[in-house]
Amino acid sequence: MKKEIFILVIAISCIFVFSCKKEANKKIVTEEIKFTKEGTLSIYALRDSIPNQIISLDIEIADNDYERETGLMYRKTMEEKRGMLFIQEKFKLQSFYMKNTLIPLDIIYIDDQYKIVSFQKDAKPLDETSLPSEKPAKYILEINSGLSDQWNLKIGDSISFKRN
């Protein structure tokens, strides 16, 4: 009887050891996060008291804690006429950083009246340095680095957006 129990314990131990070894060798595969169009955003310049549309973008909207914390992290690319609009709960000084963000970005801070109040241009991938707004903001738009200059965006330009 003792011999049978001993053999049973050895067999169970072997099964446990070999099953754990298989688990340790499994590779974790992460899927690339795909863009999901959740709305459109237009940027307007007020020149000679006339609003002129500069550009229209397809946007993803980050309006809950998880989406605001994750943002564009882990994305390898973003097409030129796309961006992410963050909608913050409070109108206040804001600050972003580039932790786990793989693409360089221009960060555009926008007030509660939909006016651009400051920029953080050419934010470097993976940099955890704080990138604050110069004035209180409610909305933050992230676009590919260099586009704010290419589109000649200025403080005082305005946005409008619509959800799908």
Tell me the CATH number at 133.
2.60.120.1140
The answer as to whether 34 is a domain residue is no
Angle (CA) 122 127 131, round 5°? 60
pTM > 0.75: yes
| Contact between residue 74 and residue 33 where contact means Cβ atoms under 8 Å apart | yes
The answer as to whether 6 is a domain residue is no
For residue 115, which amino acid is it? Answer: K
Q: What is the C-alpha to C-alpha distance for residues 25 and 12, in angstroms, rounded to an integer?
A: 20
The answer as to whether 57 is a domain residue is yes
pLDDT at 108: 99
The answer as to whether 132 is a domain residue is yes
The answer as to whether 134 is a domain residue is yes
Q: Which two tokens stand for residue 158?
A: 């305005």
Residue 96: exposure state from Cβ atoms within 10 A (0-12, 13-18, ≥19): buried
**Residue 146: left if φ>0, alpha if ψ -120 to 50, beta else—which one?**
left
The answer as to whether 16 is a domain residue is no
Q: pLDDT means per 10 residues in the chain (164 residues)?
A: 55 58 62 91 90 97 97 96 99 98 99 98 98 99 99 97 97
pLDDT at 15: 61
pLDDT at 1: 56
The residue segments making up the domain with residue 113 are 39-163
* Residues 6+ away with beta carbon under 8 Å from 93: 132, 133, 135, 136, 137
Structural domains in the chain (count): 1
